[in-house]
């Protein structure tokens, strides 16, 4: 079942999401929700989806960065972004316990800010503690693009959108990103756009 993805301006995207209890995590409703979120993320060609994006203020997100999403990228851009496939997994009640490196800047988009993209600085490595769909405690050490995805999705659970962190002069439509900027190094984009906040 494909769920509706809410867009910027909806109050739920600016709320701090509620923690899930062990009982809630093990419930049939949450298990079904995870499957619906996975299906919705795939249909939207996203690499992550947080529960607030479908109107639910709970600390739950799903992530998967498929190989086919990266196939169009030239090898040098994949290397620059440190982008590798990430298997499907669930984050419940996640916390970034440490971050390092950066800021590393790349264009970033969001399913809840449809049609737009901007350069966003993020840490290059993060360590995240979270619960999985079974309520089991896990730790993730991530770098590169995976670290960016984690930071983006965890921001959603705290009411933060990438537009709060972006370099505002780099905001562009996805159409213009693909037309003018997508294959250029970020430094070159910044130089062409002039002074960036």
d(CA 84, CA 75): 11
Map residue 47 onto helix, strand or coil: coil
Outline where DSSP puts E strands in 14-124.
Answer: 48-50, 60-65, 86-100, 104-109, 116-122
Active site residues: 153
d(CA 186, CA 177): 12
For 76, the token pair is 């040098």
Map residue 128 onto helix, strand or coil: strand
């Amino acid at each position: 079942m494909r769920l509706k993805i809410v867009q910027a301006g909806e109050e739920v995207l600016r709320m701090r999401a509620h923690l899930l209890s062990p009982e809630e995590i093990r419930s049939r409703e949450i298990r079904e929700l995870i499957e619906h979120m996975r299906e919705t993320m795939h249909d939207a060609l996203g690499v992550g989806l947080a529960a607030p994006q479908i109107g639910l203020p709970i600390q739950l997100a799903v992530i998967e960065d498929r190989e086919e999403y990266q196939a169009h990228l030239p090898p040098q851009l994949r290397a620059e972004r440190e982008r590798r496939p990430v298997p499907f997994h669930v984050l419940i009640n996640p916390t970034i316990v440490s971050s390092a490196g950066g800021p590393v800047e790349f264009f970033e988009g969001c399913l809840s800010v449809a049609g737009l993209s901007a350069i966003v600085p993020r840490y290059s490595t993060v360590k995240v503690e979270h619960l999985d769909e079974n309520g089991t405690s896990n730790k993730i050490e991530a770098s590169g693009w995976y670290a960016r995805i984690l930071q983006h999705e965890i921001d959603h659970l705290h009411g933060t959108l990438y537009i709060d962190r972006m370099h505002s002069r780099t905001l562009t439509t996805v159409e213009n990103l693909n037309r003018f900027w997508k294959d250029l190094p970020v430094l070159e984009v910044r130089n062409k756009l002039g002074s960036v906040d």
